[in-house]
Amino acid sequence: MAMPTMGSSVYIVVELAIAVLAVLGNVLVCWAVWLNSNLQNVTNFFVVSLAAADIAVGVLAIPFAITISIGFCAACHSCLFFACFVLVLTQSSIFSLLAIAIDRYIAIRIPLRYNGLVTGARAKGIIAVCWVLSFAIGLTPMLGWNNCSQPKEDRNHSEGCREGQVACLFEDVVPMNYMVYYNFFACVLVPLLLMLGIYLRIFLAARRQLKQMESQPLPGERTRSTLQKEVHAAKSLAIIVGLFALCWLPLHIINCFTFFCLQCSHAPPWLMYLAIILSHSNSVVNPFIYAYRIREFRQTFRKIIRSHILRQREPFKAGGTSARALAAHGSDGEQAGRPRGCGEAPAGPRHTHTALPRLSQGSGAASPGGSI
């Protein structure tokens, strides 16, 4: 359904602004992890995967959405790729958020096994599998679950297109039963409910451990401050999940009304595009959460902006809390303020966690930013 010219112009301007902010903010996240060795941990591998999906939203999905809003004539399967690509990125984001939740659950519930279970190689393999699954799920309509075989007269906007072409509008090519049953119920709602359960268990476990520390402190148990940092990290990541749900659920709820309530009038164009803008804006918010909630990200962002953007020359080093961050990461004996990659070769592997005393649900797992 084409919008009025004024509405179309406003929509395009807002979408382009979101695209620019999404690309800049998430490139900054990837840059920070690349520069600062304190941020190079398994949790942040998934954070970088999430940022990559958000960059692709700005570079590809939003331009595709703007193009589709015009309703140009195209071959049906070409239109399906334009329409469904954002679903690939949404699914990748969900898988990354779910992987982060599981990672934090292991870190708090079974920390002594964390370093053995959660390795960089396994994380990279999981990320690769998640992206493959995301393409398979998001592009399912291209395999046959679509409206391409529907007669042209049954479509609302394809009368002016040549034979073999359709007006490239989302609802004309992507069936609503796919969007509701498969995309929303199975691939969005179920993972969101799983994440809700995981974070509830994380916070309940942390609360129980904190009470145990107060009533019966045991020798060798991880310190209260270490556990509080883990909880703070989990809260930051839970906020990101909550914002994802807040941004995407309105659009899915509108789709449910469209599909189930046949007697209801279709949502007005301004509401549909407001919901689309809200869903795309989710790609902008995560870097602000990292900067506000995670000190190591915040300090690295400042250094990047000063040194690489404003060209105020200063030697790059980790944030002022490096000693605590390196300790949380199982430091290889580096001095505070001298992370790997700043003029010296990395030390040989040392299994520092084996020297720790026995912990009860203790540490050994790094929080996303080291120090929070």
User: Residue 289 in contact with residue 233, Cβ under 8 Å?
Assistant: no
Provide the token pair at 15: 């979408």
Q: Cα 115–121–125 angle (5° rounding)?
A: 125
Q: Give the side-chain half-sphere CA count within 13 A for 128.
A: 6
pTM (2 decimals)?
A: 0.82
State pLDDT tens for residues 136-184: 999 999 999 999 887 655 555 666 788 888 889 999 899 999 999 999 9
Predicted pLDDT of residue 153: 57
What's the Rg (C-alpha) of the chain?
24
Mean pLDDT over 310-338 rounds to: 47
pLDDT for 330 beyond 90? no
User: Residue 98 in contact with residue 241, Cβ under 8 Å?
Assistant: no
Amino acid letter at 321? T
User: Residue 303 in contact with residue 43, Cβ under 8 Å?
Assistant: no
Mean pLDDT over 38-66 rounds to: 97
State pLDDT tens for residues 182-212: 999 999 999 999 999 999 999 999 888 888 8
- If DSSP codes are grouped into helix, strand and coil, which group holds residue 355? helix
DSSP code, position 165: E
- Phi-psi bin for 152: left (phi > 0), alpha (psi -120 to 50), beta? alpha
Domains defined along the chain, listed by start: 5-329 (1.20.1070.10)
